[in-house]
Amino acid sequence: MRKKTKITFLFDKNNAWFEKYFNIKDFRKKKKYSFKISKKYKNIKNQDIVFIINYTKILPENFLKKNRLNLVVHASDLPKDRGFAPVTYQILKNKKKIHICIIEAKKRVDSGDIFIKKNFTLNGSEIYEEIREKTAINMIRLIKIFLNKYPKLNKKKQVGKATYNRKRNPKDSMINIQKPIKSQFNLMRVCDNENFPLFFYHKNNRYILKIFKDD
């Protein structure tokens, strides 16, 4: 009997939004693989493939050496928008076509060779949860495409000038009440109503705004 390819999905416990859309049972239909999930990189070793999903810290090189292939799923047209919140930053630049890459994990953030790249399109009306959902669905789809083709994939170097995104913080959710809503709609779309809601200051008071679609 052929030995199964061992795969672990590494999730970040501090950035867990992706997990609500992920069902490992969907992957277990692929008989040539064995799958598991972990949130502790120190517990992972001797894996054929580790998929690193939305991890917010740089993993040490000694961890990468413990596994045969370490892969990052990153939602940008690399080498553009390396680093944090790539979809958010693209939306703020009025982008609708969003690329997703599966790349080899390297010490330098999001710098690895690209194994596969696809894209999906936002229509410009989606708000936070819808953006998350579409991103997750397409990330999962790309992982499945990768697994269907593996090991018959060729990696390619990233080409072009790299750009890097900083980590966003609650202050980035402030809107300017002197400007029209239309000009700030992309910012409104990417704000999380619970964790980093829109806000503004007026007459020495801070006001919170939440955005919903009227179904």
Asked if residue 189 is part of any domain, the answer here is yes
Is 153 in the same domain as 177? Answer: no
Q: How far is CA 142 from the centre of its chain?
A: 12
Query: Domain count of the chain?
Result: 2
Which residues are bridge partners to 201 per DSSP? 206
Owning domain of residue 69:
5-164
% of the chain beyond a pLDDT of 90: 86
Is 76 in the same domain as 176? Answer: no
Is 57 in the same domain as 135? Answer: yes
pLDDT for position 102: 98
pLDDT single digits (tens) 185-200: 999 999 999 999 999 9
Element (H, E) at 132: helix 128-149
The burial class, CB within 10 Å (0-12 / 13-18 / 19+), for 172 is middle
Asked if residue 18 is part of any domain, the answer here is yes
pLDDT single digits (tens) 104-117: 999 899 999 999 99
Q: How many CA atoms lie within 13 A of 8 on its CB side?
A: 22
Is 99 in the same domain as 174? Answer: no
Tell me how many degrees the CA angle 63-142-19 measures, rounded to the nearest 5.
65
**Over the range 16-48, which residues count as b (16 or more CB within 10 Å of their CB) and which as e?**
ebbbeebeeeebeebeebbbeeeeebeebeebb
Asked if residue 215 is part of any domain, the answer here is no
Asked if residue 152 is part of any domain, the answer here is yes
pLDDT for position 25: 87
Residues in the chain: 215
- Mean pLDDT computed over 28-54: 91
pLDDT for position 26: 85
Which residues are bridge partners to 33 per DSSP? 5
pLDDT for position 68: 95
What CA–CA distances, in Å, run from 159 to 72, 74, 111, 156, 189?
Answer: 17, 16, 10, 9, 30
Tell me how many degrees the CA angle 6-40-57 measures, rounded to the nearest 5.
110
6-10, 13-17, 55-59 — which one is most confidently predicted on average? 6-10
Is 75 in the same domain as 140? Answer: yes
pLDDT single digits (tens) 126-142: 999 999 999 999 999 99
Asked if residue 214 is part of any domain, the answer here is no
pLDDT for position 15: 85
Tell me how many degrees the CA angle 157-160-162 measures, rounded to the nearest 5.
95
pLDDT single digits (tens) 152-182: 999 999 999 999 999 999 999 999 999 999 9
Asked if residue 118 is part of any domain, the answer here is yes
Is 46 in the same domain as 144? Answer: yes
- Mean pLDDT computed over 59-64: 91
Say which residue the tokens 């993993």 belong to: 59
**pTM of the model as a whole:** 0.93
Q: Can you give the CATH number for the domain in which 13 is found?
A: 3.40.50.170
Is 11 in the same domain as 98? Answer: yes
Please determine, for residue 1, whether its predicted confidence score (pLDDT) is greater than 60: no
What radius of gyration do the chain's Cα atoms show?
19
Asked if residue 66 is part of any domain, the answer here is yes
Is 104 in the same domain as 185? Answer: no
- Mean pLDDT computed over 92-121: 96
- Mean pLDDT across the chain: 94
Per-residue pLDDT band at 66 (split at 50, 70, 90): very high
Say which residue the tokens 């047209």 belong to: 77
Is 143 in the same domain as 173? Answer: no
Please determine, for residue 30, whether its predicted confidence score (pLDDT) is greater than 80: no
